[in-house]
Amino acid sequence: MAETKEKVLSVNNLVVNFRTDNGLVHAVRDVSFDVFKGETLCIVGESGSGKSVTSKAIMGILAKNAIIANGNIMYRGENLLEVSEEEFYKIRGHKIGMIFQDPLSSLNPIVRIGKQITEAMLLNNDKLKLMYNDLISDDLIHYKNTLAKMNIAINTEKKTIDALRYELKKKSYKNEAEREADERLLKEKEEHFKNFEKETHEKYTAEAKVLKEKLKETEKEAKQKVKEYKHSVNEEYKQKVANIKSKYAGISNSDEKAKYKEELKNAKTEKMDKLKITKAEAKRRAIQIMKEVGIPEPEKRYRQYPFEFSGGMRQRIVIAIALTASPEVLICDEPTTALDVTIQAQILELINRIKAERNLSCIFITHDLGVVANMADRVAVMYAGKIVEYGKAEEIFYEPKHPYTWALLSSIPDVDSKEKLEAIPGTPPNMIYPPEGDAFAARSKYAMNIDFRKQPPYFKVSDTHYAATWLLDEHAPKVEMPKIVSERIRISLEAAAKNQAVNE
């Protein structure tokens, strides 16, 4: 079956390293995945596998010592790693929202809940400005991106030459001829770079000039439209005031006078509502969103402080804040680990409901396969900075292929006994020295020689299911998944069949 769904976000060949005193940490090593409209993609893996680093890269909030060494993150045709800062701010927290593990640290303890929800709305409350920005946004982004692309192209080229220069400086030479050859090579590259820089500059400047002209034109049109809108709002108001005045002309009793004043006031409020997001409107919207995320008595809760909320309620508020911007993608990084089990289930249900109602795309990060089962449409299993297997949820749960996925499945506590069946032996590798080959080999009883030498490619299991394990190579010996896993799959399939029979 070919995927016909709309792709909202796609991460391609992402490589993220961190500079540390002990060396370079290879946190994310060539990660690629797509997120489709209205689906939940769960990223699952042990602590340190690179889940949070991947999501932070999408949000553009990586630590200062991070180096994005390769890859791109495409959102609506733009590479988030290349877009201008301006556009990035528009996307982050607006089109793409994020909920973190600890709701307390994302709330300000000394600011009332209501204010924290309305803050962002009131910060950009000028509807005329919003209208203007909206009208010019496409052209502005286009223009800015062209400049950003130019800088990226030049900087990337420059970085390679800097790296070469650094490498040659460290190199020890056997003879003078070798050194001279290297120096010539470097000089050639430097000459080439000069040309490249000039050509790139010329190429993009020409393009940018055209786009700037277009932008100026659009800005002029947008100004005119905004002016017309403002004018029409004012005219409408004047007309209303005139009507009210004529309606109440010659009144004398105080009741009538009060009504007259009331109507004038309403007309003014109506006018202001068209020009600004007023405090009252922001509050209305906030209370509506608080209701949406299941806060009881939202009018009362609106005036309270975070400490007056339970952990679960705080997480609901964090979700509410993320929703005020109407995001298209919601990244949830272990949003329930700090909560107890019943509350956890409620929050998961809430996220599922909101996702369905708003047709959101969700990236849900967890180390808990039990949670995955409740949330995921598709699953990506991460180990040591790589996705080792991905597929539809049922493919991962009923037809897992990678020994690491088997290990994860054997380690979920049993639903009935709540007992952890089998801990995964050993520990994840030190990511300063990621192993060659399949990083899980050292902990896997199914490892073959090749697993220690060569990185397995993604073998196709189905159109939607891929796994990076040499076990799927045609030359590999036939290996069955561990009995404990196949037994669980059998039991859950039987239970599902029984349920279905009961329902029919």
Ligand X SMILES: Nc1ncnc2c1ncn2[C@@H]1O[C@H](COP(=O)(O)OP(=O)(O)OP(=O)(O)O)[C@@H](O)[C@H]1O
Footprint on this chain of Mg ion (rule: CB under 5 A): 52
- Alpha-carbon distance values, 359 to 73, 96, 336 (Å): 21, 13, 21
Question: If contact means CB under 5 to 8 A according to the sort of partner, which of Mg ion, ligand X, none does residue 65 touch?
Answer: ligand X
Q: Which stretch binds ligand X (CB under 6 A): 40-48, 87-95, 255-263, 297-305?
A: 40-48
Residue 56 CB, nearest approach to ligand X (Å):
8
Query: Cα–Cα distance between 289 and 319 in angstroms, integer?
Result: 9
Contact indicator for 186, 168 with CB cutoff of 8 Å? yes
The residue among 52 and 324 lying less far from Mg ion, judged by its C-beta, is: 52
The residue among 102 and 273 lying less far from ligand X, judged by its C-beta, is: 102
Angle (CA) 493-496-499 rounded to 5° is 155
Binding track, positions 319-358, relative to ligand X; x by CB under 6 A: ----------------------------------------
Edge-to-edge order in the sheet of strand 465-467: 96-99, 329-333, 361-366, 40-44, 378-383, 386-392, 465-467, 459-462
Instruction: Give one DSSP letter per residue of 211-255, joined into a string.
Output: HHHHHHHHHHHHHHHHHHHHHHHHHHHHHHHHHHHHHTTT--SHH
Residue 51 CB, nearest approach to Mg ion (Å):
5
Question: If contact means CB under 5 to 8 A according to the sort of partner, which of ligand X, Mg ion, none does residue 400 touch?
Answer: none
The residue among 366 and 405 lying less far from Mg ion, judged by its C-beta, is: 366
Residue 26 CB, nearest approach to ligand X (Å):
8
With binding defined as CB under 6 A, does residue 63 bind ligand X?
A: yes
With binding defined as CB under 6 A, does residue 52 bind ligand X?
A: yes
Closest Cα to residue 82, out of 67, 93, 71, 92?
A: 71
Question: If contact means CB under 5 to 8 A according to the sort of partner, which of ligand X, Mg ion, none does residue 355 touch?
Answer: none
Kindly state the DSSP code that residue 72 receives in the 8-state scheme.
E
- Backbone torsion region of residue 159, taken as left when φ is above 0, otherwise alpha when ψ lies between -120 and 50, otherwise beta: alpha
The residue among 53 and 447 lying less far from Mg ion, judged by its C-beta, is: 53
With binding defined as CB under 6 A, does residue 431 bind ligand X?
A: yes
State which of residues 50, 114, 335, 429 lies at the interface with ligand X (CB under 6 A): 50
| Radius of gyration from C-alpha coordinates of the chain | 29
Q: By Cβ distance, which residue is nearest to Mg ion?
A: 52
Reduce the DSSP state of residue 266 to 3 states and report it. Answer: helix
Query: Cα–Cα distance between 399 and 386 in angstroms, integer?
Result: 20
The residue among 78 and 334 lying less far from ligand X, judged by its C-beta, is: 334
The residue among 14 and 393 lying less far from ligand X, judged by its C-beta, is: 14
Binding track, positions 359-378, relative to ligand X; x by CB under 6 A: --------x-----------
Q: Which stretch binds ligand X (CB under 6 A): 19-27, 117-125, 272-280, 284-292?
A: 19-27
Closest Cα to residue 263, out of 246, 236, 244?
A: 244
Question: If contact means CB under 5 to 8 A according to the sort of partner, which of ligand X, Mg ion, none does residue 40 touch?
Answer: none
Which helix (H) or strand (E) segment holds residue 162: the answer is helix 127-170
Question: If contact means CB under 5 to 8 A according to the sort of partner, which of Mg ion, ligand X, none does residue 465 touch?
Answer: none
The residue among 337 and 462 lying less far from Mg ion, judged by its C-beta, is: 337
The residue among 16 and 136 lying less far from ligand X, judged by its C-beta, is: 16
Instruction: Give one DSSP letter per residue of 276-307, joined into a string.
Output: B--HHHHHHHHHHHHHHTT-SSHHHHTT--GG
Residues 6 or more apart in contact with residue 366 via CB below 8 angstroms: 42, 43, 44, 334, 337, 372, 375
The residue among 51 and 283 lying less far from ligand X, judged by its C-beta, is: 51
How many residues line the site for ligand X (CB under 6 A)? 16
- Which residues in this chain contact ligand X in the complex, by CB under 6 A? 18, 20, 25, 27, 45, 47-53, 63, 65, 367, 431
